[in-house]
Chains A and B, each alone.
Chain A
């Protein structure tokens, strides 16, 4: 029953498969840390996946594909910023409309390129390091976008918690009025990180169509991952490393579902394909429930649970989703 199961292969597949989700999750984490919910994620990923594929096919340059996808993501996010930060409209409504529009736009504009051949960002083992036992195969035998996703996790943490810009970003997310009183321009910060986060989300689209799920069609295969990324930000308690771990967990569930299919041939394949989604919802519910009074009381009686819930309980940025009042 366990034949063909290789821990190293699974780990390597998880790292590679999670790459686009990691990028999108980090992008949205940055945006939400500034207090803005960019709900247009799912459509943005589809649109930028299409743009990246088409540009890379026509120009023959992968780099051009990635650059264009980041630009597309940044543009959609700029719309969110314009409408919700500058004009004070509802972040949720703006994001929701945009997610539907961008997805349909992607299918419409990309229809003639569906199922055509396109370039693929192939494996590029890191010299020397890829020769290491165990870690070499798991971490250093991937394509460039996958390395990028791993570096981004560390960079995002460093940026948020160790630079003055990161501090300013977190300040705005927690209390816009206080940030203003300290000479920070909250609106500017929000716009900048909505756009920057959007660029990362755009890159995630390219990582799908040029790397982990290469090609373009309707559906492309990246649909739904934007919603997962939004959930992972909450699961990750707005912490970039925890959110990325959530993305790896989700990728692990997906990889395992393939193995389960071969181990339990009697169970319909769809069960395993769909299983990661409700599992993520379950985990999300657990990580939210630990905020409740009952959970806290239970935890007080069991020291082990207490440690667990302390780790899980994290409140969202205090100004998340709020608009700034002006007089």
Chain B
């Protein structure tokens, strides 16, 4: 199936998310859509999958004009999309998620669907248990399930929006080989990403978006420099680790056990000094999440002790940790970090907490200040959920205290493009130089190696390695993360 997009526009008020985009997608091709955060990639793909309606423009499917009013209409043309945030039903089982939305009888034969799922999994190299609730799956497994579902429904055009975010490198290999197989079988595969290496490994053709427009396109073999220039206009320098002078003890976990997450945390003894940047590596949910929450006082250890600045804080609540200078920033920006529905200015007002009545003018000017110094693309009155991921992250960073003792960051650069990552680490570097200990988790091994003074590797709820980046490399870390020490 060949799909042609002609002059697609999508406007949200003043924002032109798509500003006249032309694009042709061919069968038996993996087509990359590359662009930094906020370039309009997701919006364009949602228009193609019928989830969002375009403001103007034409879509041709095999030269026939279509206008999708909802996802069902796009699906009937064989177009399916894996959304950036997985759109599934976490409490329902794998099998039920697989069935939902598929054509079926009034009282369907579950064993039929079970067989179909098992067959697809075998074919694609996936390993999914049909009776597990989807909440217990990793992001990568949820993705595999969605892919299997689209295939079972006979989709010939598969759009994947940032599929490599939050999955292990092993899962990425499985995914990519599945996508290659599909495309050689005649399917049209679209890979949306802000990561150059994904596009370079998998795609045959790539279109680069910038500020809602096409800024260039290329076919294999790609020139990295040329692609970067299409994305940013110029090549950004990689983030650099400065190497800090370690200071006094900031955090000491002593034989800590805790529940939570997928694996909990077991037998964890770690010291972190001020001025140190410690990267937590591991598959998503191998204990890093619990570690950060124990250190933040959000999860109480079942055994062991937690010390902050040599003071025993075991069993104290998050507020007590905060007054000791501990700051925590969760991965789910909109769920845990920001309050959807409130504007940037209102977020500033909450932080002030000086008087009973809100001084909205003052917080608006404060918001303006933060917006400028942290280069957030927003207005004080913008609701936070309308900001792109990178801008939400910048806003959250602007809320961090000025001189923390311990900064706990969960996937602080998830979903950010290279320029934003570099920007974030310049800020964090400055904070570490001021004498703060920074502990962060990330699924990007390269990032961890580049910015950390120390790396802790998590596997199944335990720390199995505590190394300096100069004593290891990406390959060794990758093996350790997968449990093959």
* A contact residues vs B (CB 8 Å cutoff): 162-165, 167-168, 170-171, 174-175, 177-184, 293, 296-297, 300, 315, 317-318, 327
Specify which of B49, B89, B99 is in contact with A174 (CB 8 Å cutoff): B89
Q: Is the CB of B107 within 8 A of A163?
A: yes
Q: Is the CB of B71 within 8 A of A180?
A: yes
* Interface residues as binary, B81-109 with A (CB distance below 8 Å gives 1, 0 otherwise): 10100011111100010011100111110
Specify which of A167, A293, A297, A318 is in contact with B100 (CB 8 Å cutoff): A167
Q: Is the CB of B12 within 8 A of A327?
A: yes
Q: Is the CB of B90 within 8 A of A318?
A: yes
Task: Answer whether residue B132 sits at the interface, using C-beta atoms and an 8 A cutoff.
Answer: no
Inter-chain contacts of B70 with A (CB < 8 A): 180, 183
A297 CA to B87 CA, complexed, in Å: 32
Please list 21 pairs of residues, one from A and one from B, whose beta carbons are closer than 8 Å in the complex, sorted by A's number: A163-B107, A164-B105, A164-B107, A165-B106, A167-B100, A170-B89, A171-B89, A171-B101, A174-B90, A175-B89, A178-B89, A181-B49, A181-B71, A181-B87, A182-B71, A182-B100, A183-B75, A296-B259, A318-B90, A318-B91, A327-B12
Shortest distance between the CB of B75 and any CB in chain A (Å): 6
Shortest distance between the CB of A271 and any CB in chain B (Å): 41
Q: Is the CB of A181 within 8 A of B91?
A: no
A168 CA to B107 CA, complexed, in Å: 12
Specify which of A162, A180, A182, A327 is in contact with B107 (CB 8 Å cutoff): A162
Q: Is the CB of B107 within 8 A of A171?
A: no
Shortest distance between the CB of B170 and any CB in chain A (Å): 26
Specify which of B71, B88, B96, B104 is in contact with A183 (CB 8 Å cutoff): B71
A183 CA to B96 CA, complexed, in Å: 15
A174 CA to B91 CA, complexed, in Å: 7
Task: Answer whether residue B51 sits at the interface, using C-beta atoms and an 8 A cutoff.
Answer: yes
A164-B105, A168-B100, A327-B12 as given contacts; A181 in contact with B83, CB under 8 Å = yes
A167-B96, A327-B12 as given contacts; A181 in contact with B259, CB under 8 Å = no
Shortest distance between the CB of B34 and any CB in chain A (Å): 24
Quick one: which of B58-83 are within 8 Å of A by CB? 70-72, 75, 81, 83
Interchain Cβ contacts within 8 Å, total number: 73
Task: Please give me the residue from chain B that is nearest to A159 by CB atom.
Answer: B107
Task: Please give me the residue from chain A that is nearest to B299 by CB atom.
Answer: A293
Q: Is the CB of B101 within 8 A of A182?
A: yes
A163-B107, A175-B87 as given contacts; A300 in contact with B302, CB under 8 Å = yes
Inter-chain contacts of B87 with A (CB < 8 A): 175, 177-178, 181
* B contact residues vs A (CB 8 Å cutoff): 12, 49, 51-52, 70-72, 75, 81, 83, 87-92, 96, 99-101, 104-108, 259, 299-300, 302
Inter-chain contacts of A183 with B (CB < 8 A): 70-72, 75, 101
Task: Please give me the residue from chain B that is nearest to A301 by CB atom.
Answer: B302
Shortest distance between the CB of A159 and any CB in chain B (Å): 9
A282 CA to B91 CA, complexed, in Å: 27
A317 CA to B38 CA, complexed, in Å: 32
Inter-chain contacts of A300 with B (CB < 8 A): 259, 302
Q: Is the CB of A171 within 8 A of B91?
A: no
SS class, residues of chain A in contact with chain B: helix
Task: Please give me the residue from chain A that is nearest to B53 by CB atom.
Answer: A327
- Which of B81, B91, B105, B106 lies at the interface centre, i.e. has the most chain A CB atoms within 10 A of its CB? B91
A177-B87, A178-B87, A327-B12 as given contacts; A163 in contact with B100, CB under 8 Å = no
The 5 lowest CB-CB distance pairs between A and B, nearest first, are A182-B101, A183-B72, A178-B87, A174-B89, A181-B87
A179 CA to B88 CA, complexed, in Å: 8
A118 CA to B92 CA, complexed, in Å: 47
Task: Please give me the residue from chain B that is nearest to A170 by CB atom.
Answer: B92
Task: Please give me the residue from chain A that is nearest to B88 by CB atom.
Answer: A178
A327 CA to B46 CA, complexed, in Å: 13
A297 CA to B258 CA, complexed, in Å: 10
Q: Is the CB of A297 within 8 A of B101?
A: no
**Contacts A174-B92, A318-B90 supplied; 9 other A-B pairs, CB < 8 Å:** A163-B107, A164-B107, A170-B92, A171-B89, A174-B91, A178-B88, A181-B81, A181-B83, A318-B91
Shortest distance between the CB of A177 and any CB in chain B (Å): 6
Shortest distance between the CB of B296 and any CB in chain A (Å): 15
Inter-chain contacts of B104 with A (CB < 8 A): 164
Inter-chain contacts of A171 with B (CB < 8 A): 89, 92, 100-101
A164 CA to B106 CA, complexed, in Å: 5
A293 CA to B70 CA, complexed, in Å: 42
Task: Please give me the residue from chain B that is nearest to A296 by CB atom.
Answer: B259
A171 CA to B81 CA, complexed, in Å: 18
Inter-chain contacts of B106 with A (CB < 8 A): 163-165
Inter-chain contacts of B259 with A (CB < 8 A): 296-297, 300
A212 CA to B88 CA, complexed, in Å: 44
Inter-chain contacts of B88 with A (CB < 8 A): 175, 178
Inter-chain contacts of B72 with A (CB < 8 A): 182-183
Specify which of A164, A167, A181 is in contact with B51 (CB 8 Å cutoff): A181
Inter-chain contacts of B51 with A (CB < 8 A): 180-181
Inter-chain contacts of A170 with B (CB < 8 A): 89, 92, 96
A273 CA to B87 CA, complexed, in Å: 49
Q: Is the CB of A184 within 8 A of B101?
A: yes
Q: Is the CB of B89 within 8 A of A315?
A: no
Task: Please give me the residue from chain A that is nearest to B51 by CB atom.
Answer: A181
A165 CA to B100 CA, complexed, in Å: 10
Q: Is the CB of B107 within 8 A of A167?
A: no
A297 CA to B100 CA, complexed, in Å: 35
A162 CA to B107 CA, complexed, in Å: 6
A148 CA to B295 CA, complexed, in Å: 56
Shortest distance between the CB of B202 and any CB in chain A (Å): 24
Shortest distance between the CB of A35 and any CB in chain B (Å): 12
Task: Please give me the residue from chain B that is nearest to A314 by CB atom.
Answer: B91
Inter-chain contacts of B83 with A (CB < 8 A): 181
Shortest distance between the CB of A306 and any CB in chain B (Å): 12
A327 CA to B43 CA, complexed, in Å: 13
Task: Please give me the residue from chain B that is nearest to A297 by CB atom.
Answer: B302
- Which of A164, A178, A182, A293 lies at the interface centre, i.e. has the most chain B CB atoms within 10 A of its CB? A182
A170 CA to B300 CA, complexed, in Å: 34
- Which of A168, A183, A296 lies at the interface centre, i.e. has the most chain B CB atoms within 10 A of its CB? A183
